[in-house]
Structure 1
Amino acid sequence: MPVQPAVLTPRQNEVLDLLVQGLSNKMIGRRLGLSEHTVRGHVQALLATLGASSRSQAAFAARRLGLLR
């Protein structure tokens, strides 16, 4: 888990909100008007920032850190 508080970009926050809802990269991309490849990059950045190795770990960390709206 990260030592410092996680700082996410506005777009990463949008992706995180949809990821936590269980949407796939493809569906997140459709919802936000992004390519699946771009979403994958945002998800990888989120995993790294949150110190997570999976989407479910990222969701858990985001909840624990109070990052969800």
Structure 2
Amino acid sequence: MDISERIRRSIEFAVTEHRGERISCTVSVGVTSVSEGITNLDGLLRKADDRLYAAKGSGRNRVISADQPE
């Protein structure tokens, strides 16, 4: 969670210029872990993907993990 949040903040505050226009972006992240009873890579990726879409659906520019509602 901490690493994901640091990455999210870094991207949020990074601004670049292209052809005289300021460009910024944000990122949403879904976080899960093997310790949640997921036994294979497909399950792990599916759970992280579910949380990614939950982050996007709740306003974007967020990190969502197991201890937050999906």
TM-score by length of 1: 0.34
Q: Which has the higher contact order (CA 8 A, sep 6+)?
A: 1
Q: Which has the larger radius of gyration?
A: 2
Structure with more strand by fraction: 2
Structure with more helix by fraction: 1
